Chain A
Amino acid sequence: MSVIQSLVDEYRRYKALAEAAIAQVGDEELGHAGHDGGNSIEMLIRHIAGNLKSRFTEFRTSDGEKPWRHRDDEFESAGLSRTALLQVWEESWSVLFVELEKLGDGDLSSTVTVRRQPLRIDEALHRSLAHTAYHVGQIVFMAKAMRGGGWRTLSIPKGKSEEYNQKATGETAAAHAKKLMER
């Protein structure tokens, strides 16, 4: 497996985790602010999307923080419908995956810039994956709080770890993502 492929698989895992969580909350709940004025799921979706789209549009030829991105606005409610929100989400992931498809492992030591700071491509990709995983964890946390007892778990069900260990089926990131998408 190539470096790029392992990153693609991990990105797909976190995309699928977020989507499986988002699917469990009601349309109105997407816009509910977190406690103490914290971010809503809608804001987190738009923030991840804004980050990915900005970083990976013309990934190798322009700075990763685009002049057209308004990061602060991502943390204000835009009142988007679920459909519109998911469209923004999908568009940004599509920009990422198209760009990753163009990369080979031989490109990893080349340099891109983010906010005028030069970064090796592998470092830029690792930073982006880290950022995405961090906020997807928050989306899942909030969705789980909203669903309470009706939550459908996204990983190993409670009390089933030993059983799972005997017959693990979702071990690779790609297999885990596939299982989540098939639900």
Chain B
Amino acid sequence: MAAAASSKYASSDLRQLLFLIDTAYDRVSWHGPNLRGSLRGMTPALAAWRPAVERHNIWELIVHAAYWKYVAWRRLTGAKRGSFPLAGSNFLARPVENTKAALQADLDLLDEMHRVLREAAAAVPAGALDLGSAQRGVTKRALLTGVAAHDLYHAGQIQLLKRLERTCRAEARQREGG
């Protein structure tokens, strides 16, 4: 009886964590745009735009988010390093090719990294969320909570980058017109 109750609790607990990572990524969320929502209608020009020379563009944030979802998946499953489809880690310089197809490929990569991470999260056995991941000191629960917060941290930044680009473009048009 006690085991059944514990299993039910863990299952509801996991559902809540999945809800958290879903709403942070692509399910309707209360807190405004989630990561995928912030990327809706993205164009190569907007994704590649930088507010200053050394600053990241939206495109780099897309690949950065994909990379950390991959890392979280690896830590969750204990998979070996080195299977991320792109060379490099953390922030990868983007764009390599400033085309719609190249942007779509990176958006697809982000979707895929999210999909496999979510799949691995959903397969965590009841009661195992508070066991360590393949990362010293970090539980599976902490890993998944962290991934969701990380998505939103950058979604907020992408919203600012979009606004900033729009303003700069309008100012440039005004200068040209004037």
Instruction: For the complex, give the distance between the alpha carbons of A136 and B159 in Å.
Output: 13
Out of A122, A138, A172, name the residue touching B142 (CB < 8 Å).
A172
- In Å, the complex CA distance between A138 and B163 comes to 12
Task: Tell whether, in the assembled complex, residue B89 and residue A171 are in contact, meaning their CB atoms are under 8 Å apart.
Answer: no
Asked whether B142 lies within 8 Å of A1 as measured between CB atoms, the reply is yes
Task: A14-B149, A141-B156 are known; give 9 further A-B pairs, CB within 8 A.
Answer: A10-B149, A13-B149, A14-B153, A36-B164, A140-B153, A140-B157, A171-B137, A173-B142, A173-B146
Q: Which of A106-164 contact B (CB under 8 A)?
A: 108-109, 120, 122-123, 126-127, 129-131, 133-138, 140-142, 144-145, 148-149, 156, 158, 161-162
- Shortest 10 CB-CB contacts between residues of A and residues of B: A137-B153, A137-B156, A161-B90, A133-B149, A134-B156, A36-B167, A161-B89, A35-B167, A134-B152, A141-B157
Q: Which of A34, A171, A175 has the most CB of B within 10 A?
A: A171
A36-B167, A134-B153 known; A141 and B160 CB under 8 Å? yes
**Considering the chains assembled together, what is the distance between the CA atoms of A87 and B166 in angstroms?**
35
Whether A165 sits at the interface, judged by CB under 8 Å, is: yes
> Which of chain B's residues 18-57 have a Cβ closer than 8 Å to chain A?
19-20, 23-24, 29-32, 51-52, 54-55
Cβ contacts under 8 Å, B88 to chain A: 161
| Interchain CB contact under 8 A, B163 and A36 | yes
Q: Which residues of A contact B154 (CB under 8 A)?
A: 137
Q: Say whether A138 contacts B160, CB under 8 Å.
A: yes
With contacts A6-B142, A134-B31 taken as known, whether A35 is within 8 angstroms of B164 at the C-beta atoms is yes
> What is the interface of chain B, defined by CB distance below 8 A to chain A?
12-13, 16, 19-20, 23-24, 29-32, 51-52, 54-55, 88-91, 130, 135-139, 141-142, 145-146, 148-150, 152-157, 159-161, 163-164, 166-168
Which residues A22-76 have CB closer than 8 A to chain B? 34-36, 38
Q: Judging by beta carbons under 8 Å apart, are B163 and A38 in contact?
A: yes
Report whether B16 and A122 are in contact in the complex, using a CB–CB cutoff of 8 Å: yes
Q: A6–B137 contact, CB under 8 A?
A: no
Interface size range on A against B: 35 or more
- Report chain B residues within 8 Å CB of A135: 156
Residues in B neighbouring A171, C-beta threshold 8 A: 135-138
Would you call A3 an interface residue if the criterion is a C-beta within 8 Å of the partner chain's C-beta atoms?
yes
The distance in angstroms between the C-alpha atoms of A2 and B23, with both chains bound, is 22
Which residues of the partner chain A approach B149 to less than 8 Å between Cβ atoms?
Answer: 10, 13-14, 129-130, 133
Q: Would you call the interface of chain A mostly helix, strand, loop, or mixed?
A: helix
B160 near A130 with CB under 8 A, answer no
Residues on the A chain within 8 Å of B163, using CB: 34-36, 38
A19 on interface, CB distance cutoff 8 Å = no
* Most chain A CB atoms below 10 A, which of B30, B130, B153, B154: B153
CA distance A158 to B55 in the complex (A): 11
A86 proximal to B (CB < 8 A)? no
Could you show 14 A-B contacts with beta carbons less than 8 Å apart?
A2-B130, A6-B141, A14-B149, A120-B16, A130-B24, A131-B31, A133-B156, A134-B152, A136-B153, A136-B156, A137-B155, A140-B153, A141-B157, A175-B137
Contacts of A134 in B (CB 8 A): 31-32, 152-153, 155-156
Q: What's the Cα separation between A13 and B150 when bound, in Å? A: 11
B139 partner residues in chain A, CB cutoff 8 A: 1, 6
Digitize A164-183: 1 where CB-to-B-CB distance is under 8 Å, 0 elsewhere: 01001001110100000000
